[in-house]
Structure formats: C-alpha cells, structure tokens
Structure 1
Amino acid sequence: MAPAPKPDADADPGDPPVSDPHASALGPADEPEPGAPSSGPAADLAGLAQEFERALLGGRREFTRVQVSERAGISPERAERMWRALGFATVPDDEVAFTADDVEALRLVAALEDDGFIDPAVESSLARKLGQTQSRLASWQSAMFLDFLAHAKLPADEAIEVAGMLLPAMEQLQTYVWRRHLAAAAGRAVAGSDELARGVRAVGFADIVSYTRLTRRLSEAALGELIERFEGLTADVVAQHGGRVIKSIGDEVLFVTDTAAQGAEIALALQDQVAAAGDLPELRIGLAYGGILIRLGDVYGETVNLAARLTSECKPGRVLADRELAAALDGHPAYRVRRLRRVSVRGYHHLTPYALQRGTDH
C-alpha cells in the first residue's frame, strides 16, 4: 500500500469539523475521540480524507459566510441568495465553511454581471439551473464511484487515493463535453435561419405507455434498467437525427429540433426501434411546430403545451402532430399526415391532431 501523503504545510489543526453535506461524495473525516492516539492508521485515514476534501473544494475551509461575501465585494444577502440558488445548504454566520475558490466564484459572477453578460434579473435562475444540473451529475458520479468501491473491495485509504486520481480525469471529460456542446450550439446560432433566430422549433414528447403500472410490477433494479434503456435509446435517436434532448422526466423525454422534418424522423425512428426491440413498452409521441421561449436550457410556450397535449391523446405506438407541423411537412415525400377528428383537451377545446406516418419515399 502506498504511504499516505503528508498533510499540507498550511493545514490548521484547529479547523472546525465539516458540516456541509455537499462537501464531498465520501463525507468529512471523523473527529478523533477524546484520548485517542494522534498517529497510526486512523490518523492516516483522517489525513487522507482531509486531503481529498481539499482537492474537491480547491483548498481548506477558512472563511465564514460574511467573510467570503466581503472578500468577493458583494452583500451577504446576495451571497446567501446565490448559495441557496446553487442548491447548497445554509450554514451559520460564524461557521468556517468556505474556501478561496468560493470567494473567486462569487467575484466571477459579479464581474460577469458588471460586464453585462449576466442579466441581474436572471442571476438566481441561472445559478439554480447550474446547481441542479451539476447536482444531478455529482449524484450520479458519486453513486457510480461507490458502486465501483463495492466491487473492488478496496480499503478506505486506497479508495480515497483512487478517488483523488479520478477527479482530474472526470473534470477534464466534463470540460471537453461542455466545450463540444457549446461549439455546436454556437454553430447553430451563427448559421441559423430567420425562423431559428425567432425560436421556431419542432417540439416532441416521448412518453412510456402504462408507466405507473410498470412501477408497481417491476423491481427497483428492473425499473432502473428500463428507464436507462429508454433514455439511452431516445438520446441516441435524437442525436442521430440532429435534435437535442431538453430533459428527461421519469417516463417522458422532451426534445427539440430545428426543422419539422427532423422532428418527424425522430418520432418515427423511435417508434420503429421500440417495435424492433420487442421487449420495451410502447411509446406515445406528440409533436408540435412553432415559436418557443428558450430560457436557461429549457423551453416554454404554446408549442410545448400543444406537444404535451397531443402526447396525452396519442394511442400507443403512434405519433400525433399539430396543424403547424402537418403544414410544414405538406408535400414531403418521406412523410404522410392524416387529419383526425377534433378533440377537447385541457386548454384547447378544438384541437385538431394529425396522424404522422411514413411516406412512400422512404
């Protein structure tokens, strides 16, 4: 076993115990019991855990909430509002819980706002979206790492060392994926048509049929495997045909595309692949085409509502489209739309759905 790394030279033996539940996936090191020896395996493990936490947080905890806001040059109220929006637990005013990286992060937010890049009106919303996205990612990575440890059966000190080595690799991979997505989004914005500039998109919902009944019948492991297959299949098909998954909500995936034809192809390809798999539950898919509000990575507006209502009216294994998407596909040889009887749904008393199918030229 490799020897434990020595503690930082600037480590303060009087640092208070860690109470922030968001500090690390492995949790803070335990304080030694009164009268316990200050050296040996337990002390080595505590030192490793402290080293690992510092690696995650970017340094040791040395500031209170008031001190970190003063150093960042913003009010304590604004700092607290940002902290909560990011999804972190509130800490007492006198608790030393923050690092120099926390100070720098608040300074950066303030600078971006001063430069006009961040609208003060959406500052908290932006922080909330960022916090929610990163929290889900961290939860998944933590569970993945703990599952790895359960199979590897490593001693705790070796596990902490392995985690310390994995951290830079995960950070590098996340930065790479983010940059690729940013480049793709920028490219679409630069090359976009007038319709895209106005936020005109095709919006689709793909919904698992009889999901509530499945949750009662399947074990947790089987249900988790089903959701993983559904989300994986949807993500692959959406990406393959130029769309973007906006979010997954349990049994439902929301996606958008730049054109009506892309939306139609994704919807029909999803139904084809589910049918070919043979062991996946059927899907209902609703599509609508029109203007949407794109805000902080999510989409809103009547087009989104129409797609959702059509999904609820759709029969298993079918695709329903609204009038605008049907009109956009008119004359397209790869697709055929058929007008159906009007329906009354929440918010729309005279909604005309169109059945979407493959055309002769496919």
Structure 2
Amino acid sequence: MSETIVAVPDSYTREQLEVAILGAPPALTSDEVAELSGVESETSKRLWRALGFADAAGQAAFTELDVQAVQDTIALTDSGAIDRDHVMALTRALGQTMARLADWEVATLAGRVEELERGEQATGSRLGSATRLVEDLSPGFEKVLVHAWRRHLAAAVARVSAMGAQDADLHTAELTVGFADIVQFSAYSNQHTQARLGEMVEVFESRATDAVATHGGRVIKTLGDSVLYVCDEPEAAYDVAAAIVRSFGRDKSLPDVRVGLATGPVVMRLGDVFGPAVNLAARMTSVARRNRIIADQRTAGLLPPEQFQLRTLPLRPLRGFGDVEPIAVKRL
C-alpha cells in the first residue's frame, strides 16, 4: 500500500480502489517494466511469479513503483550480499506472507466497510467506503508493517543464536512441537452457518495465538481447525497447550480441542518447520481424548517429574510411526 493520497470521487469503481491502494493506475506491461528497470524480461517475470502473481500476458498491469521494486530487488544481488537463488527464495517467502496478510486484512476490514456504509458518512457504495478506509489506514499501517518485520527479524536472529542450533546447520534445532486441533471440525462445519464457522475459527486462532505468545512460543501456521507451534522448552509447550484447552474446552459454546506434543530436531525453512517431531505431534492428536494433552516419550521425559502427572496410554498405531505409547500429561 502506498502513502499517496487519492481524492475520493463522487462515484466509485474497482479501478479507483486499485489506484488508492497502488498509488497510481497500472500503465506498464511486464516487458516495459523489464526495459525500464534494466533487467532481462524473463528475470522480471520470475520475480513477479515468485511474489505469487500470474504472468500479466502483455496487459498494462504495472506501475512505476513496480519498476522501482524490480530495481531494488536486483540491487541486492548486484551488491554481492546474496546471490540470485537467495533473492528468489526471499521473494517467494515475501509473496506468500503478504498474500496471507492481504487476505486477512480484507476479511477483517470487510465488516468495517459495511459499518461505514450504514453510517452518516456512507458513500452509497462499498467501493467508496473501502477507498476511504484504504486512504485512512495505509500510511500508519505501512509503518507498523515495517516495524513488525524488524521486530520479528530481531527475534528470529536471537532464536538462531540462542536455541542451540548446530554451527554446521543453522536451520536445525531441538524444539518441542505442539499441534492443537478442533475435535470433529467437519461435523461442526455441517451444523453451523458460514458466518458462525468463521467466527469460531477466528476465536480459535486468536486464543491459540495469544496462548503461544504468552508462553514464549512461536506460531508456525494455522489451518482453520488447527494450529502448529514450537517452543524452546517442553514445559512452555505444555503451558501453551493447557491454556488452549482451558480457553476452548471450558467454553460450552465452542467445540472441544486436543493437543499433541513431541520433541526432537526440527528443520526450519521459510517460516515452516519439518521433521519427525512435527509429524508425530500432529499424528498424536488423532488418539488424544477431548480437551486432553498427550506427549511422546521424549517430551514426557524432559518434564520435571515433581511437577507433572504422567500416564502411559496403551499402544496406538500412528501412521508413519507404527505402534506408539503416547503419554497423557497433566500439571500437578
């Protein structure tokens, strides 16, 4: 979003809203962007695809700001700081992150647009209220966006240096993975309206995210009916799980939840995590009882025995792991 302020017209179109967001009307083709930025056409198109956009196929879909963005991106390699492969990887990560943020922003603000259209300053068009909202929010939100990125970057660097990553592989660390999901989400979806379903998912993600942040963990991803998170210590991962269970399981208006915990080497790439511990945590929720927390043997063994009650459950077959003895965990 640009800080350029566009005058609100008497009538509104989608194109006018696009200008309010981009700061200028699209007037350049991808080939013209490449020519003006001084890079090969295929390189410019690769960057565009890495950001998550389809090829504009000769259409005037770009602005001067896109030219500047291509130049700034290529300058990263020209400086010698990183190579082209690293630039493409970072661009893909940026595109995926921004796409989700944009969808989240639109979904969050859609209700506000409706409120504005019902108020005294209604424009007679949702596009009109959306345009005004963009103009009001863009300057401040862009500043917060950059600040949040810097804060998260600082936190990520601190994690790499402090969490025990091996010098030979800075992408791998010993972590406890938590996977929480909503019990019988499909059945719940069939019994409630889309509006109610959306509200419930928002409540679940909000409460789960708060629980993770409160206990020093990190949300890796949310999938509507589930959340995947990691913590440096098993105790913190349990406390997150317990907070989620308390918040959701005791609310009779919401469905039950269940949480699986597993500890082990975790590979971190592009904001995601991989490894047996990740898969095991997710698999264990399939055998967990409602509003209960179960852990693998390794996690249970790392919890202080004087603070936790551990109960070994019968062998359960888990896809990809064979027969596993999960352990029900409860803080004393």
1:79 alignment partner, SS class: helix
Return the match for 2:307 from 334, 346, 353: 334
**CA apart distance, 1:332:** 4.2
Instruction: Report the Cα distance in structure 2 between the residues aligned to 1:201 and 1:254, rounded to whole angstroms.
Output: 13
Change (3 A) 1:285 1:138: same
**CA apart distance, 1:195:** 7.0
% identical aligned pairs = 37
Instruction: Report the Cα distance in structure 2 between the residues aligned to 1:152 and 1:232, rounded to whole angstroms.
Output: 25
* Residue identity in the other structure for 2:239: E
**CA apart distance, 1:288:** 0.6
The 5 A counterparts of 1:168-207 are 168-194=139-165, 198-207=172-181
Instruction: Please give the root-mean-square deviation of Cα atoms over the aligned residues, in Å.
Output: 2.8
Change (3 A) 1:144 1:194: closer
* Residue identity in the other structure for 2:154: A
List alignment gaps of at least 5 residues for structure 2.
none
1:77 equivalent in structure 2: 42
Pair 1:101-2:75 in alignment:
no
- TM (norm. structure 2) is 0.85
1:285 alignment partner, SS class: strand
List alignment gaps of at least 5 residues for structure 1.
8-28, 30-39
Determine if contact 2:309/2:331 at 8 Å carries over to the other structure: yes
Change (3 A) 1:322 1:118: farther
* Residue identity in the other structure for 1:282: D
The 5 A counterparts of 1:85-96 are 85-93=50-58, 95-96=59-60
Instruction: Report the Cα distance in structure 2 between the residues aligned to 1:114 and 1:306, rounded to whole angstroms.
Output: 43
- TM (norm. structure 1) is 0.78
Instruction: Report the Cα distance in structure 2 between the residues aligned to 1:212 and 1:62, rounded to whole angstroms.
Output: 45
| CA radius of gyration, larger in | 1
Change (3 A) 1:255 1:116: farther
Return the match for 1:239 from 202, 213, 216: 213
* Residue identity in the other structure for 2:116: A
Pair 1:260-2:234 in alignment:
yes
Q: Which moved more, 1:126-135 or 1:259-268?
A: 126-135
Determine if contact 2:262/2:281 at 8 Å carries over to the other structure: yes
* Residue identity in the other structure for 2:97: T
Change (3 A) 1:144 1:78: same
Instruction: Report the Cα distance in structure 2 between the residues aligned to 1:161 and 1:124, rounded to whole angstroms.
Output: 35
Pair 1:147-2:147 in alignment:
no
**CA apart distance, 1:250:** 1.6
1:313 alignment partner, SS class: coil
Change (3 A) 1:319 1:144: closer
* Residue identity in the other structure for 2:30: R
Instruction: Report the Cα distance in structure 1 between the residues aligned to 2:232 and 2:197, rounded to whole angstroms.
Output: 32
2:270 equivalent in structure 1: 296
Change (3 A) 1:302 1:115: farther
Instruction: Report the Cα distance in structure 2 between the residues aligned to 1:213 and 1:173, rounded to whole angstroms.
Output: 39
Instruction: Report the Cα distance in structure 2 between the residues aligned to 1:126 and 1:57, rounded to whole angstroms.
Output: 22
